[in-house]
Every structure is written in C-alpha cells, then in structure tokens.
Amino acid sequence: KKKALTYRKKKRMLNLFCFHVYLFNLKLLLIRVQFTISTCHFLQMLLSCLQVCCTVGTECESVEERIGMNSGGGSEIEKDGSNSDEEGRSFEGSASRMTSTTC
C-alpha cells in the first residue's frame, strides 16, 4: 500500500511539473508571438516611411536643400574653395542621417 501511495504522489508531482513546464512554454510562445508581431509592425512602419520618402521625396529633398543652403552660406562667408567642398561632403552625410531619423 505504501508503495502505491508514493507512486501516486510521484505521478501527481510529475504531472504538476509537466503542467507547469507546459504553461511556461505557452507563456514563452505568447511572448515570442507578441515580439514577432511588434518587430513586424516596426519593420512595416519603417518600410512604409521609406516608401513615402522615395515616392514623394519632397520632405527629404527639402531637408537636404536646407542643409545645402546652410553650408553654402557658411562657405560664402569663409570664401575658401577647398574647405567648402569638404564641408559640403560632411553636410551631405548629415543630411542622409537626418532623413533617416525623420523617417
């Protein structure tokens, strides 16, 4: 009789353990699904924004033009051909960075 009781207890404990593991895996699965949904949503947002920038292109171009005008004004004051070229390149890099952040 004692052996039978201990066997039942062990079986019950094992079932409880398995059930908890099952619940834990279910939670992990839910978290994983939520995470994938959020990442997909984020990627879709990013892609749609990039598409808008590529198709319309007005906002991005206007930002680049503004930065170009600013760099042009700076080079006019300095009146140095070589420096203005270098500045223009650096401003182009910042323009692309700005467009990516605005999008």
pLDDT tens figures, 56-66: 444 444 444 44
| Residue 79 sits in the same domain as residue 95 | yes
In this structure, are 34 and 63 located in the same domain? no
pTM recorded for the entire structure: 0.30
pLDDT, one tens digit per residue, over 64-77 is 444 454 444 444 44
Full domain range(s) for residue 89:
57-103
Check whether residue 5 and residue 42 sit in a common domain. Answer: yes
What ranges make up the beta strands (E) of the chain?
Answer: none
pLDDT at site 52: 57
Same-domain status, 98 and 88:
yes
Asked if 11 and 41 sit in the same domain, the reply is yes
Handedness of CA 55, 56, 58, 60 (dihedral sign): negative
- Count of domains observed in the chain: 2
Dump pLDDT digits (tens) for 10-50: 888 888 887 888 888 888 888 777 777 777 777 777 777 66
Backbone φ, ψ for residue 72 (5° rounding):
-60, -45
- 23 and 11 part of one domain: yes
Do residues 18 and 32 share a domain? yes
